[in-house]
Copies of this chain bind each other. A is one copy, B any other.
Amino acid sequence: MLNFEFKNPTKIIFGKETIAKISSEIPKDAKVLMLYGGGSIKSNGIYEQVKNALVNFEVIEFGGIPANPEYAVLIKALEIIKSEKITYLLAVGGGSVIDGTKFLSSAALYEGENPWDIVSKFIRTEIGMPFGCVLTMPATGSEMNSGAVITRAETQEKYGMGGPGLFPQFSILDPQVIQSIPPHQIANGIMDAFSHVLEQYMTFPTQAFLQDRFCESIMQTLIQVAPTVIENPFNHEAASNYMWSCTMALNGLIQKGVPTDWAIHAIGHELTALFGIDHARTLAIIAPSHYRYNFEAKKKKLAQFAERVFGIQEGTTEEKANAGIIKMEEFIHSLNIKTRLSEYTPNFEGTAEKISDRFIKRNWLTLGEHKNLAPSDVEKIVKMSY
């Protein structure tokens, strides 16, 4: 087990009918900017619940934050924060709204001239404007971590940002919100969370026995509840296990003391930037090829995955490892998610070279848990994913 530090101060309020508790979490004298996305919260009852909870607060609204939170849109919200002297942010949405709110939390207190520097220059946020979340779409884990991913359309860029100042003060997780999520988005959420676990698990054996088992626990739970929650999001037990699994998949706990990979996310982000493919689906496209390309380095962990998550007891390490990849693909397909780039776009030719070039330009020359994946390797992995 590697040395680590872990601190996660976010307060989770989990369960049915918990949205009303917002009112006891936000300071009474706060001036609140309530941020949300495309407006689905207005048709599913969440908007009304939030507004009822905020009835005694001074609130300004900012809707329209798009999937893959767009810098140009966020800058408009930043202007409101400054002109209206906002003191507290409330994200009501999924990962995109929460990530956008994290950017705003940082930018609101940033003293530099250009807020894009926070993202492009990887400036760590030590203190942000306080914010809370009402999660409407379990997937990214952003509700209980201090990271965010921000997109800038004009340059087709998608970058991570973060820092200890960007933990939500509280996040409300009411599994009932899942009832109004379309099945393909629930599938995306399951895929995203599953992939988060894979990135922190599928490296090499490090004798972090407890962390391994926690990872396997999350993956087993997602596999167990996936059919039910997609079929019937009113099933409270499936919905709540899905929701809590997504949070636990990326709240920092399972990555402590172990190496992590994250190459799949790095490559996947490019597919979203280039083609607008749903984030979760880019992970489904890249993961199987990534594991086949890096088979030798990862085969022991792939075999453990096959044994413990899918119960495969027969065969050599290599056979089990291969079976693990196949089982993983079958699970992804069971979510009705396709695993080849050519199934998403006819314009896939040249993508591998384009992504490789972009990694070279950014000096991203050492991906993966061994920091030995060069842009030429990335190119081959993307080609294998066509």
Given A5-B13, A8-B8, A16-B3, are A218 and B207 also a contact pair (CB < 8 Å)? no
Say which residue of B9, B209, B224 sits within 8 Å of A221 (CB atoms). B209
**Cα distance, A12 to B7, chains bound together (Å):** 6
Q: Which residues of B contact A13 (CB under 8 A)?
A: 5
Q: Determine if A383 is an interface residue (Cβ-Cβ < 8 Å).
A: no
- Max chain B C-beta neighbours (<10 A), residue from A10, A225, A240: A240
Check A221 against B213 for contact (C-beta < 8 Å).
yes
Q: Determine if A275 is an interface residue (Cβ-Cβ < 8 Å).
A: no
**Cα distance, A213 to B16, chains bound together (Å):** 22
Check A225 against B209 for contact (C-beta < 8 Å).
yes
Q: Determine if A214 is an interface residue (Cβ-Cβ < 8 Å).
A: yes
Given A12-B5, A12-B6, are A210 and B256 also a contact pair (CB < 8 Å)? no
Say which residue of B3, B7, B15, B220 sits within 8 Å of A9 (CB atoms). B7
Q: Which residues of B contact A217 (CB under 8 A)?
A: 210, 213-214, 216-217
Check B11 against A7 for contact (C-beta < 8 Å).
yes
- Kindly supply a per-residue 1/0 record for chain A positions 243-258, scoring 1 wherever the CB is within 8 Å of any chain B CB and 0 otherwise: 0110010000000110
Q: For A5, give the chain B residue with the smallest CB separation.
A: B13
- Max chain B C-beta neighbours (<10 A), residue from A12, A16, A175, A218: A12
**Cα distance, A342 to B282, chains bound together (Å):** 63
Check A244 against B210 for contact (C-beta < 8 Å).
yes
Q: Determine if A2 is an interface residue (Cβ-Cβ < 8 Å).
A: yes
Q: Determine if A180 is an interface residue (Cβ-Cβ < 8 Å).
A: no
Given A3-B16, A15-B3, A16-B3, are A207 and B9 also a contact pair (CB < 8 Å)? no
Q: For A215, give the chain B residue with the smallest CB separation.
A: B217
Q: Which residues of B contact A6 (CB under 8 A)?
A: 11-12, 14
Q: Determine if A73 is an interface residue (Cβ-Cβ < 8 Å).
A: no
Task: Report the minimal beta-carbon distance from A291 to chain B, rounded to whole angstroms.
Answer: 23
**Cα distance, A217 to B375, chains bound together (Å):** 38
Say which residue of B1, B15, B241, B256 sits within 8 Å of A207 (CB atoms). B241
Task: Report the minimal beta-carbon distance from A285 to chain B, rounded to whole angstroms.
Answer: 27
Q: Determine if A317 is an interface residue (Cβ-Cβ < 8 Å).
A: no
Task: Report the minimal beta-carbon distance from A143 to chain B, rounded to whole angstroms.
Answer: 12
Check A10 against B12 for contact (C-beta < 8 Å).
no
**Cα distance, A236 to B208, chains bound together (Å):** 11
Q: Which residues of B contact A210 (CB under 8 A)?
A: 217-218, 221, 241, 244-245, 248
**Cα distance, A11 to B5, chains bound together (Å):** 7
A-B contact pairs, 7 of them (CB 8 A): A1-B240, A1-B241, A1-B244, A5-B12, A208-B241, A209-B224, A209-B237
> Which 6 A-B residue pairs are closest in the complex by CB-CB distance?
A3-B15, A213-B217, A7-B11, A207-B237, A1-B240, A9-B9
A-B contact sample (13 more), CB < 8 A, given A14-B256, A209-B225: A1-B240, A1-B244, A3-B18, A5-B13, A5-B14, A7-B11, A207-B237, A208-B240, A209-B221, A210-B244, A210-B245, A213-B217, A214-B214
Which residues does A use to contact B, with CB under 8 Å?
1-16, 18, 175, 207-210, 213-214, 216-218, 220-221, 224-225, 236-237, 240-241, 244-245, 248, 256-257
